Amino acid sequence: MSHMSSGANSEQQWQELLSSITRANPRDLARAISLVENDSTLKVHSAVSNSQVIGITGAPGVGKSTTVNALIAALRSHNKSIAVLAVDPSSPISGGALLGDRIRLGEHFLDPEVFIRSLATRGHLGGLSATIESVINLTKLAGFDYIFVETVGVGQSEVEVMKYVQTVVVVMAPGMGDGIQASKAGILEIGDIFLVNKSDRDGAKESAKELESSLHLSAKPLNWQPIVLLGAMEKSVGVDELISAIKKHGEIMK
């Protein structure tokens, strides 16, 4: 397909592409995503869907990808469809190709009910937010039950990205000092669910307690009290509890 720019004909082609996006047509979704990534004039401001959009954020190495992988496995066993958008806002060098993630998520690549996409971002904040909003809305058009948006770290870019999701899951790990990083970046304020991962390691319970008390100190939202969970996603410990919390939050946000 030719590169889209403004003009009646390409606008018609764009609309046709949008209306062809379904779960059965992942290639059209992938093509539409590439187009919005490469042309900042193409925007999708809204999409009507029943998808729940969940952000997974937290410092590098805490286990975000492992968590997404565990969630996919559990949700697929309940016949749910899932899209994963992996966002790399910080690294223009990697071009969004998160190799480790691709390998780990690889076992789901042949499953038509699982759509996985790494997003190449140009590394500047305004561009990223605009692009991610459109990409999420395109993915919503395909009607997945759950859309997970995984970020790379904790910083201002992550906070920006989390504006476009309904449910924010903040992943932490014991003894990594990521709680401090998260609070600096403002991640604690936006988290709906906090997962202290790697509970098979020392210090997880203590981290969860510390986190709970610092959350109690901050202002309470009107209809949702943030939940703190312990889990070991690599060992599938706490996955069902995490899914319950995500669903509960989704119900409240409806």
Ligand X SMILES: Nc1nc2c(ncn2[C@@H]2O[C@H](COP(=O)(O)OP(=O)(O)O)[C@@H](O)[C@H]2O)c(=O)[nH]1
According to the binding rule CB under 5 A, does residue 64 interact with Mg ion? Answer: yes
* Contact with ligand X (CB under 6 A) among 51, 57, 66, 139: 66
Mark residues 186-225: x for contact with Mg ion by CB under 5 A, - for none.
----------------------------------------
Rounded to the nearest 5°, which phi and psi values hold at 119?
Answer: -100, 125
Quick check: 171 and 229 in contact, CB under 8 A? no
Tokens of 39: 């042309």
- Other CB atoms within a 10 A radius of the CB of residue 5 amount to 10
Mark residues 195-214: x for contact with ligand X by CB under 6 A, - for none.
--xx-xx-------------
* Contact with ligand X (CB under 6 A) among 32, 64, 82, 147: 64
Report how far residue 65's alpha carbon sits from residue 118's, in angstroms, rounded to the nearest whole number: 12
According to the binding rule CB under 6 A, does residue 108 interact with ligand X? Answer: no
* Contact with ligand X (CB under 6 A) among 39, 113, 160, 234: 234
Give me the half-sphere count of Cα atoms (radius 13 Å) on the Cβ side of residue 193: 25
User: What minimum distance in Å lies between the beta carbon of 103 and ligand X?
Assistant: 10
Quick check: 167 and 245 in contact, CB under 8 A? no
Segment contacting ligand X by CB under 6 A, of 45-53, 89-97, 130-138, 227-235:
227-235
Segment contacting Mg ion by CB under 5 A, of 32-40, 98-106, 110-118, 244-252:
98-106
Task: Return the residue matching tokens 């805490």.
Answer: 62
What is the DSSP pairing of strand 167-172 with strand 193-196?
parallel
